[in-house]
Every structure is written in C-alpha cells, then in structure tokens.
Homo-oligomer: A and B are copies of this chain.
Amino acid sequence: MTKKRIAVDMDEVIADSIARFHEWYGLDYQLTLTLDELQGKHFHEAVAPEHQAALREYPNRPGFFKDLPVIADSQRVLREINQRYELFIATAAMEFPSSFLDKYEWLRQHFPFIPWRNVVFCGDKSILNADYLIDDNAFNFDHFRGEGILFDAPHNAGETRYRRVRSWQEVGALFL
C-alpha cells in the first residue's frame, strides 16, 4: 500500500518564529504583547500602527530564522510520522529570499531525519501534491488538493473551516 503523504509548514508549526518577533520587538521598542492582544492577528498587525511596517520587515532581516526555538513535541511526533507516512516540509521561503540557507540549516539541525529530497521551498502551496497539509495559515488550504489541518496559532483563532490541532500531541493522536 502506498504511504499517505503529509506536508508540514515550518513557521509557527515546527519553528517558533513568534518567539523571534517577541524578542526583537522587545529589543527595538522595549514593549511586549500579551496572548490576548495577539488573538486573531499576526504579530505585525497587533502592534501600534506606527510600528507595523518595521515589524512586517523582520523576516527579511538577516538572522530572523536562525536558532528559532522548536515547537514542543514536533521532533518526536514527526520522527514517528516519518516512519508511517511520506513526510515533506513545505515552507514559503520564496517571500524571504535571505531566509533560504537559515531555514535549510535549521531543518538539518533539528530534523536531521528528514532528507533534503523531502524539503520544499515554495510560495504558493497549491503546488503541493500531498494528502494532508499541516499549516497555521488557512489561506494555504484554499487551492490545496488534499486536506488542510490547521495548526493552532493566536492569529488563526477565528478560523472555523478546517480541522484544528492545538499541539503536536494532537497531531500524533490524529495520525499515529
């Protein structure tokens, strides 16, 4: 029997890019955001209007994707998923060309069991031929040919069209 294929997004799904936003926002403005303030919004949308343009550029700043914390349990669960499914990492790196190498090296370091053949940098995830896509951005499911699984994040709190998973433990319960 052919293995089912699962594609997994990076930012806010396995890599904690919001931690970097908190860190740099604190360094640049000596300010913090609460989880309540982030509900339904991307980080750069939740800050004061005069800071939004600068924060939208954070992912283009060198180092943004370097040494991001790993989302809890993602390594353990993906290692098991990798044995029963065809696992691909699919990340929208094209929007931030300076991120290519940092993202690639981060994957090598934290997910060494995922071969380079199973890594995809793309802009439009409708190009993925997979059965499932685990992603925090529901717009990536619009033209995706498989089933979208929404990984819970403050910014997607209001989204109700897709199956939601709140943690990698829940992903494990769903697929393993």
Partner of A122, one of B97, B119, B124: B119
Size class of the A contact interface (CB-based, 8 Å) = 20 to 34
A129 at the interface (CB under 8 A from B): yes
Shortest Cβ gap from A140 to chain B (Å): 12
A123 & B127 in contact (Cβ 8 Å cutoff): no
A77 at the interface (CB under 8 A from B): no
A18 at the interface (CB under 8 A from B): no
B116 & A95 in contact (Cβ 8 Å cutoff): yes
A145 & B129 in contact (Cβ 8 Å cutoff): yes
The verdict on A127 contacting B120 (CB below 8 Å), with A100-B104, A104-B100 known, is yes
Indicate how many identical chains form the complex: 2
The verdict on A127 contacting B124 (CB below 8 Å), with A94-B117, A94-B119, A119-B94 known, is no
23 CB contacts below 8 A, A to B, read A5-B127, A88-B124, A90-B127, A93-B121, A94-B117, A97-B100, A97-B101, A98-B101, A101-B101, A115-B123, A116-B123, A118-B124, A119-B123, A120-B120, A120-B123, A120-B127, A122-B122, A126-B129, A127-B129, A127-B130, A128-B128, A128-B129, A129-B145
| Ranked 6 nearest A-B pairs via Cβ | A117-B123, A100-B100, A129-B129, A121-B121, A94-B116, A117-B124
The chain A residues found within 8 Å of chain B, CB to CB, are 5, 7, 88, 90, 93-95, 97-98, 100-101, 104-105, 115-124, 126-130, 145
